Amino acid sequence: MRTESLPELAVAIFTNAGRKVTNEDAAVVVDLDANAIGARKLIILADGMGGHNAGEVASRIAVETAASSVSKSVLSAKSITDLRHCLEGAIKASSDAIYEKSQTSLSLRGMGTTIAMVLLLADRAIVANVGDSRIYYLLPDDIRIISEDHTALAETMRSRQMTEEEIRFFPYLHAITRALGESTAPEVYVYEEAIQQGSILLLCSDGLTDVITDSEIHEQISCISDIQSAVDNLGRSAFHNGSNDNITIAAIEMGDMKRGTKKIERSPAIPKTRENAKGGRKSRIKLIILVILLLLMCASAAVVGYSVWILLNDEKKSTHKEVKETIKIQTDGEQQTLTTKQIEEKEMQIKENGKNKETQNNK
């Protein structure tokens, strides 16, 4: 096989956190060393999941482990079957590596990731995937999914026919049925596709496919002349169409695709505030802390104020009691100050005197 007869390859990658704080997607393109089987490039995309930054860790481990595994094993591959085993083995090794890492920290427990891989040869591509990250094969007049979705919806659709209404209201729309990072490595979907010059292979996370249809993907990719510009516009379109997830796209063009003539409207850039969402989050945290401090200060002031009020009230009650216990009276033109006890004693004395008088009168 003569190298000069091979079509030129153009690679493009777009990745953005979108409306999320952290970008848990990862993508890499690897130029493979000279090998007997004629493998040229390896493209890997992963969409991580997990609490905190665990998804980011999982996707990074996946692409790094898989890239290293395939780069080594492809050197000894002698057949297409060997290459299929290379991809399958790399994905299972990635899953094991993620699981082992997840056991080292509570914050990483349960992390996982999808993965989609393309190993490109001169006239064909070997693809492999686990999860819902997709691989498309595009021609000037066609687009096909050549990966397999591993979701609850896809599994249900493969088992029976579903109406459009059933699909629209499916309760587990985003639930995936296979992922990397479990104690047992998942079953890997592997497929071989013959490729033509002037075609494009595109890998993407569900941040794109949740809001952009297959026909829209084909329209933008086939009508924007530069592959990087097309991928960038597609990613921006996904954001402005309301994607709530990270958005990652990796594409490779074999030769020059014959582009359509339709004029594609360019989507505006994704706001930089979204790319700096982490900084915005820090600002919100600072604001929350400030509000909490102010509330604590107000609460402290209220406690102090209440304590002072209690003291003053007690003093007032004490004074009031003293006032009630000392009464000024007017007797024989003189003002006297008598205590309550003295008054009570005086009342008792008057009562006794009254009783004595009655007794004497009766006699």
Most confident of 39-43, 258-262, 346-350: 39-43
The pLDDT value recorded for residue 160 is 93
pLDDT, one tens digit per residue, over 120-164 is 999 999 999 999 999 999 999 999 999 999 999 999 999 999 999
CB 248 within 8 A of CB 27: yes
Residues 6+ apart with CB under 8 A from 199: 137, 138, 139, 253, 254, 255, 257
How many residues in total does the chain contain? Answer: 363
H or E element that contains 98? helix 80-102
| pLDDT over 80 at 253, yes or no | yes
Distance CA 49, CA 44 (A): 17
The pLDDT value recorded for residue 297 is 77
pLDDT grade, residue 294 (50/70/90)?
confident
| pLDDT over 60 at 1, yes or no | no
pLDDT, one tens digit per residue, over 14-42 is 999 999 999 999 999 999 998 999 999 99
Both tokens of 39, joined, read 């493998």
pLDDT, one tens digit per residue, over 67-88 is 999 999 999 999 999 999 999 9
Q: If you average pLDDT over every residue of the chain, what do you get?
A: 85
pLDDT grade, residue 330 (50/70/90)?
very low
Residue type, 126: I
pLDDT, one tens digit per residue, over 195-204 is 999 999 999 9
Region of residue 35 (left: phi > 0; alpha: psi -120 to 50; beta: else)? beta
The pLDDT value recorded for residue 175 is 93
Distance CA 14, CA 218 (A): 16
The pLDDT value recorded for residue 53 is 78
Domains of the chain: 3-270 (3.60.40.10), 284-362 (no CATH)
The pLDDT value recorded for residue 6 is 81
Which of 254-263, 291-300, 309-318 shows the lowest per-residue confidence on average (mean pLDDT)?
309-318
The pLDDT value recorded for residue 327 is 43
The pLDDT value recorded for residue 314 is 54
CB 113 within 8 A of CB 186: no
User: Taking the mean position of all CA atoms in its chain, how far away is CA 328?
Assistant: 80
pLDDT grade, residue 306 (50/70/90)?
low
Residues 6+ apart with CB under 8 A from 267: 233, 236, 237, 239, 240
pLDDT grade, residue 191 (50/70/90)?
very high
The pLDDT value recorded for residue 174 is 83
| pLDDT over 80 at 218, yes or no | yes
Distance CA 334, CA 341 (A): 20
| pLDDT over 90 at 355, yes or no | no
